[in-house]
């Protein structure tokens, strides 16, 4: 049973470009969570999604960031017009349902030049 798959592992963007980060949950998991880790800091919750629904986006920046988890395909975290401060590791986790253990992927490291 494959774990949570994130791609790309590393992503380099120039300021003003768009970044798209993908997350495929573990088989049988319908809940997805995105976290961000700035250098030398702990992980910060961004958003929680269930298939086709955003359940909690209290940790998402108000502008430029969006997330989706369509009926088919991976969850996507989209960052428009990236700035240097967006440089971080972005981790995705999945679980089979509410109240269950969250399992994390290896992360995507975004570098903004």
Partner 1 sequence: DAKTTQPPSMDCAEGRAANLPCNHSTISGNEYVYWYRQIHSQGPQYIIHGLKNNETNEMASLIITEDRKSSTLILPHATLRDTAVYYCIVRVANFGNEKLTFGTGTRLTIIP
Q: Which one of 14-22, 68-76, 77-85, 89-97 is the stretch in contact with partner 1 (CB under 8 A)?
A: 89-97
Sites for partner 1 among residues 15-34 (CB under 8 A): 31, 33
> Cα separation of 77 and 37, whole Å?
14
Any contact of residue 85 with partner 1 (CB under 8 A)? no
Any contact of residue 44 with partner 1 (CB under 8 A)? yes
Nearest to 24 by CA among 100, 94, 112: 94
Neighbours of 56 (CB within 10 A): 12
* Torsion sign, CA atoms 19, 22, 88, 37: positive
Any contact of residue 2 with partner 1 (CB under 8 A)? no
Q: Look at residue 86 and give its three-state secondary structure.
A: helix
Structure tokens at 65: 């960031």
What is the smallest separation between the CB atom of 16 and partner 1, expressed in angstroms?
26
Any contact of residue 65 with partner 1 (CB under 8 A)? no
> Could you list the residues that contact partner 1 (CB under 8 A)?
4, 31, 33, 35, 41-45, 48, 55-56, 58-59, 89, 91, 93, 95, 98-107, 109
């Amino acid at each position: 049973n494959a774990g949570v798959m994130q791609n790309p592992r590393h992503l380099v963007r120039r300021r003003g470009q768009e970044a798209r980060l993908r997350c495929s949950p573990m088989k049988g998991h319908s809940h997805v969570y995105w976290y961000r880790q700035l250098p030398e800091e702990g992980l910060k919750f961004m958003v929680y999604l269930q298939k086709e629904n955003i359940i909690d986006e209290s940790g998402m920046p108000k502008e430029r960031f969006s997330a989706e988890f369509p009926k088919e395909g991976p969850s996507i975290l989209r960052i428009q017009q990236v700035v240097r401060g967006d440089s971080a590791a972005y981790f995705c986790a999945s679980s089979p349902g509410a109240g269950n253990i969250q399992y994390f992927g290896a992360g995507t490291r975004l570098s903004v030049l």
